[in-house]
Structure 1
């Protein structure tokens, strides 16, 4: 069964079978405003926790989205190339950013659950 984690940098990870689907939270997309461009990572790219994985550009500013854990990109959400606003309309659904194979599942232990994240932004 999939389990969802959150970072203090406003990313979510839905982990299932050693693969994490990563996106930004509803709170983050509200802060950014309407997205106009998303620069996605290439499949096969290795990411270390804290690396810039994605750049999102909104009408307000460009922002980096960081790798929440170590791993290898296995898929990017190509639908965002044509429709970056999916991140605004469905940040926890169709607006996901990339999927990555986890290098070290123990890194998940330092992340927040939903209640912890809500307290962080609260």
Structure 2
């Protein structure tokens, strides 16, 4: 009788072990499907963002060609505006870029006055 009980317990343990492996496989597949879905969603978002960046670059090229700014001038303006918006003084920007302060003022004038006017309007509301 004891052998039958021991055999039954071993058989039950084997069946439970097999059932456990099958459950783990099912859970793993389910989680893999979730990960795949998230991955596809992220890839779609990345593609949308890449298309938007491409469109912005094309628009910037069109704008630059209409205005007559060369890519080098655009890069210089971008660097100047970045330094200015980060709070660097005109003197330190002029030293870093190696231009005189009058020329720097002239380059930044359209952007500084436009920025000041926007902040004044925003503060009035």
Length-normalised TM-score, structure 1:
0.19
Q: Comparing both structures, which one devotes a greater share of its residues to strand? A: 1
Relative contact order, higher structure (CA 8 A, sep 6+): 1
Q: Could you tell me the TM-score, scaled by structure 2's length?
A: 0.18
Structure (1 or 2) with the greater helix fraction: 2
Rg bigger for which structure? 2
